[in-house]
Structure 1
Amino acid sequence: MKLKVGMSLLPLLFLFIFGCQNQNEKKNTDSKEVAQFKVPVEYYTLDNGLKVILSQDKTSPTAIVALYYNIGFRIEPKDRTGFAHLFEHMMFQGSKNLGKMEFIKLVQENGGVLNGSTRFDFTNYFEIVPSHKLETMLWAEADRMRGLDITQENLTNQQGVVKNEVKVNVLNQPYGGFPWLDMPQYANSNWYNAHNFYGDLEDLDAANLEDVSSFFKTYYAPNNAALSIVGDFEMDETKAWIQKYFEDIPASDLPAKPDISEPKQTEEKTFIKNDALANKPAIALAYHMPQRNSPEYFAMGLLDQILVQGDNSLLAQKLEKEKGFTSNVSGGINYLGNMFNYQGPMLWMYDLTYDNDTSKEEILTAIDEVMNGLKDSIDQPTIDRAIVKIRSQLYDDIGGTFGLGRADLLCAFALFDDNPERINTLEDSFKEITPEIVKKTIDEYLTKTNRTVLTVNPLLAENDKTKS
């Protein structure tokens, strides 16, 4: 389960537009340089419902094919926890014209890289290839959208692979699942948001061929997907290839989405997780997010920057620099992506490990000092600095990994908003947020009644004390 795109590998792929007022047109105002970035976006939909986003950039002779299906682990079948992730693995087991693992071989032998991941609200697959292999990748993605090789042998094999992944990444790992897997289960109430999306071992064993076939026919259809192409390609030629390979894939009858709303939290929740492999205590704090795309949502994005992002963030200054309780406060909105590529209820969260001679009460007291004085620190200069940090992060995300971050946002905005052009208005949305909106958001959302606190009890450390 790949979690997040990493650091930038190429110069940022933006078109910068600089303008200055003409001195002859200037009337009692100073000339100002205006800078903004603009990602080229062409968006359309095939007759079968497939959403297509094209974003051309000839900086490098590479192309990205990103295919996002509007099905994540949030709405996977009950009693089949981990099924969406299991199915992600099944997508590499063969299709009509490509045998088992031949999809991977095809990409790698043509000089490309590929991966897939399962998130809250989508499952995605991507290939980064030399641009002259773009048609090959479109054919291959269409081939497996058209039909998988669903056999008991492939299913049994991948059940074993995923179960082993759970054991390695969660069950047999210190701080395994903390807090990205654990916290949603503690903080949320609705099963769709609160179940073990990596998968209980019994549920993974219970999956059968009928489950796999039904899931594929229902959700892996063009009218439940978005396809983005980013990089060096010819527009008309690429449109013709997409039409050729995808247009005759039939749409499916999509079921009604279940109710994924989360009831309002009215009192603080606290939990302790015993960890036999951990040697230091850890703590994570989570708050339910405002509704996506609301003014308060963008205000929380600013507060995330102010509180936890970077060495100058308030919690880093208090817990790392002033108190010396920890060396790393990390956090954000949506630990399995970013604040833009999800659709349902979400948590803002941060976590840290700390020394055994520091108490949880000391940590919480220091945190409360920051939170109690937070509104007093909110003014326009503080917001402006947060916007600079957000802008920098957007540049890193959108330009990183040959433009993969760009493909991610384009698909997410197509699936969830039917508007991939949103990628070009994100900064403006943050600039519309005033100090008054930020303070209102603090009062409504950054309260103890909206907070869940999860601590890790390090049994390994206790055992070491007993031995000594």
Structure 2
Amino acid sequence: MKLKTSMVFLSVIFLLVLGCGEKEEKQSKEVAQFKVPVEYYTLDNGLKVILSQDKTSPTAIVAVYYNIGFRIEPKERTGFAHLFEHMMFQGSKNMGKMEFIKLVQENGGVLNGSTRFDFTNYFEIVPSHKLETMLWAEADRMRGLDITQDNLTNQQGVVKNEVKVNVLNQPYGGFPWLDMPQYANTNWNNAHNFYGDLKDLDAANLEDVASFFKTYYAPNNAALSIVGDFEIEEAKTWIQKYFGDIPASDLPEKPDISEPKQTEEKSFVKDDPLANKPAIALAYHMPKRNTPEYYAMGLLDQILIQGDNSLLAQKLEKEKGYTSNVSGGINYLGNMFNYQGPMLWMYDLTYDNETSEDEILSSIDEVMDTLKAKVDQKMIDQAIVKIRSQLYDDIGGTFGLGRADLLCSFALFDDNPERINTLEESFKEITPEMVKKTIDEYLVKTNRTILRVNPLLADNEKTQS
């Protein structure tokens, strides 16, 4: 067993810094430092384990993240990663179909799973005395699924129905979270329909399922985190007992998921027969993850679109009255921390039929053209306050589920879940000059993709009236 341990105690430390001098005014500065307890080690079979003890509530979270998401699912099998997420609830060696769900719920817990760009995750939140049961159950389905044609056919139908309900038969279905990556990106891994083409979903067969499971659902391609009320040594014993002898897999070489630099603005229109108002989304390719520019874009996200005081909300909602809500962010399927490959910073809004696209874009350009001149340390400090607030909400919310998410993501992508304790400092290192440099390099029209929804239902209503 390879052991890496980093124990830090949860604390909020208030430092009072007094500056004094003949020409200096006395000032005080309060700095809050949030520290998450992290113990990290790796089993001999490659499973990454992160333990974070918190006894404020008699609950425990078990989260298992597999390093397989939409980006690297097989070609001509779009939606396969998502389909496989559903298969994980169809039975395993010691549990029949849907018994995993029943086991959690009958023990007073909740559970879910999801498929994202770079991982598929499963979690359970249970009373702490049921932790061992959940570890046994997760290990049981990692060890082997009940892969049958009946289960596959059933879940193909479920996923196809989900696509129809959430995308094909909804106004603005898939806009912009599903649509924009297909327009803005070039590399197939980043640009395909990851929810799944109906023909591709039908084409999946048992051989595909068995191969996918054997390849990607293995301990050396996964991270396990436990957050909550538990004893460290006891949890380690259970993890070794249930996961320790699951064999590792031979992981294939990862495909190239890099995205070529965009050199000119792109603009597209999507006809929507169910929409009665136009909508618009704008996307910019993000800087590489963990670079200074990446953190600067996190600050610019707060400055431009997060909250009522954001510059685009002030312009488009308060001043112009074009829309009631500008929404967006970095990574529509999560947050700016839980992805690994190329990403878009994006925002979108609906607006009245009487308002033109040119009016919307003109107002947006007013904000963007004057942005660099407005950036100063005060603006950055205000953005950091908003980031800190959101980060603390995420880490502490839902019994610590946000904490489990970050710990698993940082283990999978960085081999360093301790990053959770350095995020705020990383933002504080960003200067106004770095923010301005990032604006010049990334918030430019040549890096921008515009997607507008053409509301055909509105046209039909006009014709009928």
TM-score under structure 2 normalisation? 0.96
Q: Tell me if structure 1 keeps the 8 A contact 2:18–2:27.
A: no
Residue in structure 2 matched with residue 143 of structure 1 by the alignment: 140
- Match of 1:326, SS state, is coil
Residue in structure 2 matched with residue 59 of structure 1 by the alignment: 56
Whether 2:103 is the aligned partner of 1:106: answer yes
- Match of 2:340, SS state, is coil
Match of 2:453 among 442, 456, 466: 456
Whether 2:427 is the aligned partner of 1:430: answer yes
Q: Which amino acid aligns with 1:403?
A: G
Output the CA distance in 2 between the equivalents of 1:30 and 1:82: 56
- Compute the displacement of 1:16 (Å): 1.1
Match of 2:324 among 316, 323, 327: 327
Relative to structure 1, is the Cα distance of residues 460 and 34 closer, same or farther in structure 2, using a 3 angstrom cutoff? closer
Whether 2:218 is the aligned partner of 1:259: answer no
Residue in structure 2 matched with residue 356 of structure 1 by the alignment: 353
Q: Which amino acid aligns with 2:232?
A: M
Whether 2:383 is the aligned partner of 1:386: answer yes
- Compute the displacement of 1:141 (Å): 0.1
- Compute the displacement of 1:251 (Å): 0.2
Relative to structure 1, is the Cα distance of residues 356 and 31 closer, same or farther in structure 2, using a 3 angstrom cutoff? closer
Output the CA distance in 1 between the equivalents of 2:127 and 2:242: 19
Output the CA distance in 2 between the equivalents of 1:31 and 1:81: 56
Match of 2:462 among 443, 459, 465: 465
The 5 Å alignment of 1:164-175 reads: 164-175=161-172
Whether 2:397 is the aligned partner of 1:400: answer yes
Q: Which runs of 4+ in 1 moved over 3 A?
A: 19-23, 28-34
Relative to structure 1, is the Cα distance of residues 65 and 324 closer, same or farther in structure 2, using a 3 angstrom cutoff? same
- Match of 1:84, SS state, is helix
Whether 2:296 is the aligned partner of 1:299: answer yes
Output the CA distance in 2 between the equivalents of 1:18 and 1:110: 40
Output the CA distance in 2 between the equivalents of 1:132 and 1:22: 48
Match of 1:45 among 38, 42, 45: 42
Output the CA distance in 1 between the equivalents of 2:275 and 2:357: 16
- Compute the displacement of 1:276 (Å): 0.3
If asked which structure has higher relative contact order (CA below 8 Å, sep 6+), I would say 1
- Match of 2:62, SS state, is strand
How many residue pairs match? The answer is 452
Match of 1:18 among 14, 19, 23: 14
Match of 1:274 among 242, 254, 271: 271
Residue in structure 2 matched with residue 78 of structure 1 by the alignment: 75
- Match of 1:53, SS state, is strand
- Match of 1:124, SS state, is strand
- Compute the displacement of 1:168 (Å): 0.1
Q: Which amino acid aligns with 1:246?
A: F
Residue in structure 2 matched with residue 337 of structure 1 by the alignment: 334
Q: Which amino acid aligns with 1:38?
A: K
Output the CA distance in 2 between the equivalents of 1:17 and 1:162: 48
- Compute the displacement of 1:442 (Å): 0.3
Residue in structure 1 matched with residue 5 of structure 2 by the alignment: none
- Compute the displacement of 1:34 (Å): 3.7
Relative to structure 1, is the Cα distance of residues 17 and 278 closer, same or farther in structure 2, using a 3 angstrom cutoff? same
Output the CA distance in 1 between the equivalents of 2:28 and 2:435: 31
- Match of 2:77, SS state, is coil
Output the CA distance in 2 between the equivalents of 1:401 and 1:377: 37
Q: Any gaps of 5 or more consecutive residues in structure 1?
A: 1-12
Q: Which amino acid aligns with 1:410?
A: L
- Compute the displacement of 1:18 (Å): 2.8
Q: Which amino acid aligns with 1:422?
A: R
Relative to structure 1, is the Cα distance of residues 446 and 187 closer, same or farther in structure 2, using a 3 angstrom cutoff? same
Whether 2:374 is the aligned partner of 1:377: answer yes
Whether 2:247 is the aligned partner of 1:250: answer yes
Output the CA distance in 2 between the equivalents of 1:226 and 1:340: 16
Relative to structure 1, is the Cα distance of residues 14 and 356 closer, same or farther in structure 2, using a 3 angstrom cutoff? farther
- Compute the displacement of 1:35 (Å): 2.1
Output the CA distance in 1 between the equivalents of 2:307 and 2:198: 38
Residue in structure 1 matched with residue 312 of structure 2 by the alignment: 315
Residue in structure 1 matched with residue 206 of structure 2 by the alignment: 209
The 5 Å alignment of 1:108-187 reads: 108-187=105-184
Output the CA distance in 2 between the equivalents of 1:174 and 1:273: 12
Identity of aligned residues (%): 87
Q: Which amino acid aligns with 2:41?
A: Y
Q: Tell me if structure 1 keeps the 8 A contact 2:410–2:419.
A: yes
Output the CA distance in 2 between the equivalents of 1:223 and 1:158: 27
Output the CA distance in 1 between the equivalents of 2:380 and 2:14: 23
Relative to structure 1, is the Cα distance of residues 236 and 286 closer, same or farther in structure 2, using a 3 angstrom cutoff? same
Match of 1:219 among 216, 221, 230: 216
The 5 Å alignment of 1:434-445 reads: 434-445=431-442
Relative to structure 1, is the Cα distance of residues 108 and 195 closer, same or farther in structure 2, using a 3 angstrom cutoff? same
Output the CA distance in 2 between the equivalents of 1:455 and 1:371: 19
Output the CA distance in 2 between the equivalents of 1:33 and 1:462: 56
Output the CA distance in 2 between the equivalents of 1:388 and 1:19: 16
Q: Which amino acid aligns with 1:404?
A: L
Relative to structure 1, is the Cα distance of residues 361 and 30 closer, same or farther in structure 2, using a 3 angstrom cutoff? closer
- Compute the displacement of 1:32 (Å): 5.2
- Match of 2:263, SS state, is coil
CA RMSD of aligned residues (A): 1.4
Relative to structure 1, is the Cα distance of residues 382 and 157 closer, same or farther in structure 2, using a 3 angstrom cutoff? same
Q: Tell me if structure 1 keeps the 8 A contact 2:280–2:349.
A: yes
Relative to structure 1, is the Cα distance of residues 333 and 22 closer, same or farther in structure 2, using a 3 angstrom cutoff? closer
- Compute the displacement of 1:33 (Å): 4.3
Output the CA distance in 2 between the equivalents of 1:33 and 1:396: 19
Output the CA distance in 2 between the equivalents of 1:259 and 1:34: 42
Output the CA distance in 2 between the equivalents of 1:16 and 1:279: 49
Output the CA distance in 1 between the equivalents of 2:27 and 2:436: 32
